[in-house]
A and B are shown apart, each in its own frame.
Chain A
């Protein structure tokens, strides 16, 4: 079961300190000094465009250092983005069947797996709407009885990558040049950013001086010798006026903490003229048949890494609640692990009795080619 790119980094890395080696996927953990880390990604804007890199990552994951896959005996479920391009889907078929020679393949959207997982916990529900906010973008996808409502899918072109890049820019402009430090600043984002429940109130607090500014934190950057991992200075150790005496490099972050994730809710804040997540959820549902709408409002499921920002779920709920007629119930669910939720759904599917009917076997493909995949898979 491969939710392509969800947990193990689906990319390669190069470090200026380790000049000879290209690190693949989770080998990032072997890099002693990840400053200035250079990323090589097989995906562009959420679509798989560079098969050279993808194959190197998969060769490593399927190979002897990792999962040691016995291809001829193995079935694979693999995730793909919504509206994946025909040529990419065909390349995927060729690579999985002809190059790796898997026994059978099921290609799905991640949201389908999440929906399956959700319906397993909520068997009386017929509809749900999956919000998948990941690295490249955010998709809002209504599912009715395991089929996605294609006409109501919405894509917001804001994902974790954009948030990290934006954070790098504003820090570089205001305090310290960190444009080369994607890996470090991504960690800063995950450590200190949160979603505000009241944007303008938090902005007012962030302007206050001294101890009254409860939003402000001082983040100690890692130097990868004495400080391996960044951290926030405990409040009692913060020097609120004047400089720190220690040799640590410190980022002082205030409105950045919540202004960055705010872009998921208001992409227009940085000039992207698209609606944010809550508005898109409501827009999507309102374009579905009226009798179905209450069922979707009651089953909103948040998945993907960006759901992990503290306050994300509550903010989605309160905004959707404001935009929805009062006679509809609104329920927004944040699973315990929004990153692995799709994967868990895939695992359940693989254990289903009818799993065999869902896959395309290598024999099927050799006889019928791409057309059988096009018929069977709902990408």
Chain B
């Protein structure tokens, strides 16, 4: 027997934000970007003094008698540290001909997106009344 609950719909109009499609898409994009993260937490070495970071591998040189060619200073290093977006931009693919990284991306699927409950992950056809734009299953709706 389900006890009568008060409506979960907030009476405060400020709370009840209706997400327009653009805002909803921005939220989805943020979630997808978060899936690209290597780490959720901070570097455990952050803030610690850099101990011996610059020690070269002397042993290798001594054993083989060969010198490792040193990198040619800061300019070289800067080139080696661009991020993905910068490198992609450099390729100028939007004006390139022929198949490339951008054209290779898979197109959209032939069938519609399947709705799942945002809380428990089971398939659900119901949109939440309280949180616009969210799918919930019957378990989480009043």
Contact = CB atoms under 8 A, between A and B. Distances in A.
Chain B interface size range: 35 or more
A304 to B, nearest CB: 16
A267 B88 CA distance: 23
Given A88-B87, A174-B120, A14 B43 contact: yes
Given A150-B99, A268-B109, A64 B63 contact: yes
B123 A99 contact: no
Interface in B76-129: 77, 79-84, 87-88, 90-91, 98-101, 104-110, 112-114, 116, 119-123
A16 B44 contact: yes
Contacts of A91: 79-80
Given A39-B38, A88-B87, A271-B31, A266 B44 contact: no
Contacts of A88: 87
Nearest to B100: A83
B91 A85 contact: yes
Contact of B108 (A64, A87, A173, A273): A273
Contacts of B34: 165, 169
B15 interface: no
Interface residues of A, number: 75
B106 A85 contact: no
Nearest to A62: B60
Interface in B27-70: 28, 31-32, 34-45, 48, 51, 57, 59-60, 63-64, 66, 68-69
Given A39-B38, A52-B80, A154-B105, 8 more contacts: A83-B104, A85-B90, A91-B80, A99-B69, A153-B104, A174-B121, A207-B122, A259-B116
22 contacts: A16-B44, A22-B45, A38-B41, A38-B43, A38-B44, A45-B36, A47-B84, A49-B81, A70-B64, A83-B101, A99-B69, A162-B36, A169-B34, A170-B121, A174-B121, A180-B40, A182-B38, A182-B40, A255-B121, A255-B122, A267-B106, A274-B106
